[in-house]
Amino acid sequence: MKMANFVMTVSAVLFAVSPPTFSQGTVADYQRASALRASYESLALHVAGPVSWIENNGRFWYRKSVKGGAEFIMVDAVSLQKQAAFDHEKLAAALSREARGKYSGLTLPFTTFRFLDNQQSIQVAIEGAQWRCTLADYACRRIEGAPAGGGRGGRGGGPGGAPPQSDRRLSPDGKWEAVIQNHNVALRAAGSQAATMLSFDGSEGSSYDLRSIQWSPDSRKLAAYRVTPGYRREVHYVQSSPEDQLQPKHSTLVYAKPGDILDIEQPAIFLIETRRQHIVDRALFPNAYEMSPLVWRKDSSAVTFEYNQRGHELYRVIEIDAASGRARAVISEEPKTFFSYSGKKYRYDVDDGKEIVWMSERDGWNHLYLYNGASGSAAQITSGNWVVRSVTRTSEESRQIWFSASGMVPGKDPYFVHFYRINFDGTGLTALTEADANHQVSFSPDMKYYVDTYSRVDLAPVMELRQASDGKSIMEVERGDISELTKAGWRAPESFMALGRDGRTDIWGVIFRPTNFDPSKKYPVIESIYAGPHSSFVPKSFQAFNAMQAQAEVGFIVVQIDGMGTSNRSKAFHDVAWKNIGDAGFPDRILWHKAVAAKYPYYDITRVGIYGGSAGGQNALGGLLFHPEFYKVAVSYAGCHDNRMDKIWWNEQWMGWPIGPHYSASSNVDNAYRLQGKLLLVVGELDTNVDPSSTMQVVNQLIKHNKDFDLLVVPGGEHAAGRSGETGPYGEHKRFDFFVCHLLGVNPPPWQSFETR
């Protein structure tokens, strides 16, 4: 029986691939690939980073690239004055002295900062330490014990309630404390120890959760969840090579997987004056995947929460009347496939819920609706064969919504993000961006101005300051300069469109060619794949360097494609992934490749490789298992190869519940016996994102079926193992070598012959 080859050296067997007639995969090719990032990123000048507005004074700052490093710039939107945000050289001298580094004004050791003391000082982070510098005298001091940035809290941290205290919840008027005693909710006067029980249905196996308790604004009511715990699955890890001891270490991680029994959350309402408890009937929320934190109406009449049903085919906004404890569905989404709560959910309660702005794909495209909070009737705000991407701001006062969308302009790239304003009644649709490009917009706090930064893969970023009232451009702030970059050999990737499997839907991708590209030669093709249904992934904005360019540099054409099943198009486009993640848009991808080959004779689709990580790792191996007639070589790292083995929230969202035979149909484990072609699997032994056993179960099946493959296990490696992070350039170098061996048919150069990145 053949065993897996543990790929730890560069030696490789050449396979039956005809060698090219010109040089590819040489030391020179690897050297160029290794040097591209440092070279290219330093040559793209006046490329501006994200904008940070300063509260209430109409100013913003940003960081931009300049020759030799970067500068921080301040702009006054009122006076249109533009200047350095501070004296770079003085700050560099102060930090060099106090932080014991060697910094210049163009190489400051931070990329962002905070203004303090009415812009009289700034705070920066250097190697994990916080420093505060006054701008009058440029005196810098280290701030001891500065708090780290906050993360997203659990229950109780959301709207409608203060953050939970260690053992009690204080009422808004400060008179009462809610506590948990013997698994039940109890009430006591603030500062007292004598408590009155409000509930008696809590028990050791079904306790009220202190974190869930929410006081009504009038301090006369409580809402809380009683929680019956589900199954606590643990993933086990062995750290083979810890740095602080010789012997391995063991650890566990609580990690729910598809099909696991989940917590049951039972809401209850408590009326303080009468000590009455309402246990809310579960008819409208019988089988929850998740229930959001309880949120009180401002008038204390009702409490709301959002209910996501197991299987993700029903999503409701539920309101509980506080006086009666009766629940009603204010909004109920009941699609035939999935409700995409990941990235396509927006809710804004207008006038304490009298109206609700809501996002839905119910007409086949992602749009905004205005609900009547009492009757449940809805009017469509936006409509058309295009998608709302996000909501920037909703104004009750002006009854207007600022939002981003894509696909509104016929004949243009349907993924380009543009920004718009519209009235609640659907009138007054106003475009706030113009250029045929991908846009990022940042509004001033008072909504008087916005900064529009736009670019394409072939257009350096342009930053403009505009008036929010009419969208008029009042100042070009920055325009990227890539003249030196193009002199150094940089060429923009090509955006390419072809029709998908239905013969009418446009499929978009990009093409990267090596800098020494010769159209008279033949080039093997490598696809970088990530077909996760939660978004779209083909780059749309300018990048001086993309890792796909480095892969191309060693002798390939490298592409990336968004096939059907990915997001940000129509609901039908997205639904291809429903209970069918194994599809991964491959029929569309293969047609796209063939369309490119029909246009460009040098595009050799007899030699096609594929690589990806995480969901892309599942997709990369899937190419060899389900489409071996097209894909010949794959590198798969950190793959979630069986959707039953991966995290519950991501996989049940697209594969549904309960688990059925469709999970097996998409499984790389169950279909490992189909393997054809050359495969390199990479896995980090401590991957806390995707259970490493997902890869090892593929390995087990490949061995059982006598399949030849290669495996790299990264000791101490996390989810990024094989790409960057813990392994640095090692995993990338292995990928280069693997494709050079099996697509070019040549021996890679010895590792000692050049330095890797």
For residue 554, the model assigns a pLDDT of: 96
pLDDT category at 594 given cuts 50, 70, 90 is very high
Q: Are 147 and 156 in contact (CB under 8 A)?
A: no
Given a cut of 90, is residue 149 above it in pLDDT?
A: no
Q: What is the residue type of 687?
A: D
The verdict on residue 367 lying in a domain is no
Structural tokens at position 566:
């990915």
Given a cut of 60, is residue 374 above it in pLDDT?
A: yes
- How far is CA 712 from its chain centroid? 26
pLDDT category at 500 given cuts 50, 70, 90 is very high
Burial of 310 (0-12, 13-18, 19+ CB in 10 A): middle
CA 296 → CA 158, 216, 219, 316, 349, distances in Å?
11, 6, 11, 17, 12
- pLDDT tens-digit readout, 704-720: 999 999 999 999 999 98
- In 351-386, DSSP assigns E strands to 355-360, 367-372, 378-380
Q: Which residues pair with 380 in a beta bridge?
A: 369
Q: Let me know whether 66 and 15 are in one domain.
A: no
Of the three residues 282, 308, 342, the one that is the final residue of a domain is 342
For residue 343, the model assigns a pLDDT of: 82
Please report how many Cα atoms fall inside a 13 Å half-sphere around the Cα of residue 80, on the Cβ side. 10
- pLDDT tens-digit readout, 304-336: 999 999 999 999 999 999 999 999 999 999 999
CB atoms closer than 10 angstroms to residue 128: 6
Q: Are 15 and 745 in contact (CB under 8 A)?
A: yes
The verdict on residue 517 lying in a domain is yes
User: What's the rounded Cα separation, in Å, for the pair 653 and 662?
Assistant: 14
pLDDT category at 448 given cuts 50, 70, 90 is very high
- Domain of 625 in residue numbering reads as 5-41+489-753
Three-state SS at 76: strand
- pLDDT tens-digit readout, 49-99: 999 999 888 999 999 999 999 999 999 999 999 999 999 999 999 999 999
For residue 16, the model assigns a pLDDT of: 37
Please enumerate in sequence order all residues whose Cβ is within 8 A of that of 712, keeping only pairs 6 or more positions apart, or say none: 6, 7, 8, 680, 681, 682, 683, 722, 731, 734
- Domain CATH code at residue 323: 2.140.10.30
- pLDDT tens-digit readout, 237-246: 999 999 999 9
For residue 13, the model assigns a pLDDT of: 32
Q: Let me know whether 317 and 244 are in one domain.
A: yes
Q: Let me know whether 286 and 137 are in one domain.
A: no
- Domain CATH code at residue 576: 3.40.50.1820
User: What's the rounded Cα separation, in Å, for the pair 65 and 137?
Assistant: 26
Q: What is the residue type of 580?
A: N
Mean pLDDT for the chain overall: 93
User: What's the rounded Cα separation, in Å, for the pair 531 and 604?
Assistant: 23
Q: Are 553 and 754 in contact (CB under 8 A)?
A: no
pLDDT category at 32 given cuts 50, 70, 90 is very high
pLDDT category at 727 given cuts 50, 70, 90 is low
Of the three residues 295, 324, 342, the one that is the final residue of a domain is 342
**DSSP-assigned letters across all residues of 472-484:** -EEEEEEE-B-HH
Average pLDDT over residues 688-702: 98
For residue 701, the model assigns a pLDDT of: 98
Given a cut of 80, is residue 10 above it in pLDDT?
A: no
Alpha helices in 265-414 (DSSP H): none
Of the three residues 325, 342, 359, the one that is the final residue of a domain is 342
Q: Let me know whether 118 and 201 are in one domain.
A: no
Q: What is the residue type of 691?
A: D
Q: What is the residue type of 234?
A: E
Helices vs. strands in the chain: H and E counts, helices first: 11, 45
Given a cut of 90, is residue 36 above it in pLDDT?
A: yes
Q: Let me know whether 624 and 728 are in one domain.
A: yes
Given a cut of 70, is residue 8 above it in pLDDT?
A: no
For residue 351, the model assigns a pLDDT of: 98
The verdict on residue 419 lying in a domain is no
Looking at the structure of the chain, the number of domains it has is 3
Q: Let me know whether 187 and 137 are in one domain.
A: no
Q: Are 511 and 75 in contact (CB under 8 A)?
A: no
The verdict on residue 226 lying in a domain is yes
- pLDDT tens-digit readout, 247-263: 999 999 999 999 999 99
For residue 7, the model assigns a pLDDT of: 37
pLDDT category at 146 given cuts 50, 70, 90 is low
CA quadruple 483, 485, 487, 490: dihedral positive or negative?
Answer: negative
For residue 12, the model assigns a pLDDT of: 34
Three-state SS at 662: helix
Q: Let me know whether 705 and 564 are in one domain.
A: yes
Q: Let me know whether 36 and 120 are in one domain.
A: no
Whether a cis peptide bond, with omega within 30° of 0, leads into 658 is yes
The verdict on residue 500 lying in a domain is yes
Given a cut of 90, is residue 661 above it in pLDDT?
A: yes
Given a cut of 90, is residue 686 above it in pLDDT?
A: yes
Given a cut of 60, is residue 4 above it in pLDDT?
A: no
Q: Let me know whether 565 and 615 are in one domain.
A: yes
Structural tokens at position 333:
């989404």
The verdict on residue 390 lying in a domain is no
pLDDT category at 436 given cuts 50, 70, 90 is very high
Structural tokens at position 515:
């800098």
The verdict on residue 523 lying in a domain is yes
The verdict on residue 747 lying in a domain is yes
Q: Let me know whether 120 and 250 are in one domain.
A: no
User: What's the rounded Cα separation, in Å, for the pair 424 and 356?
Assistant: 10
Please report how many Cα atoms fall inside a 13 Å half-sphere around the Cα of residue 451, on the Cβ side. 27
Q: Which residues pair with 612 in a beta bridge?
A: 636
Q: Are 631 and 676 in contact (CB under 8 A)?
A: no
- pLDDT tens-digit readout, 152-197: 233 333 333 444 446 899 999 999 999 999 999 999 999 999 999 9
Q: Let me know whether 614 and 731 are in one domain.
A: yes
For residue 315, the model assigns a pLDDT of: 98
Given a cut of 80, is residue 508 above it in pLDDT?
A: yes
Average pLDDT over residues 392-400: 98
CB atoms closer than 10 angstroms to residue 220: 17
Q: Let me know whether 506 and 648 are in one domain.
A: yes
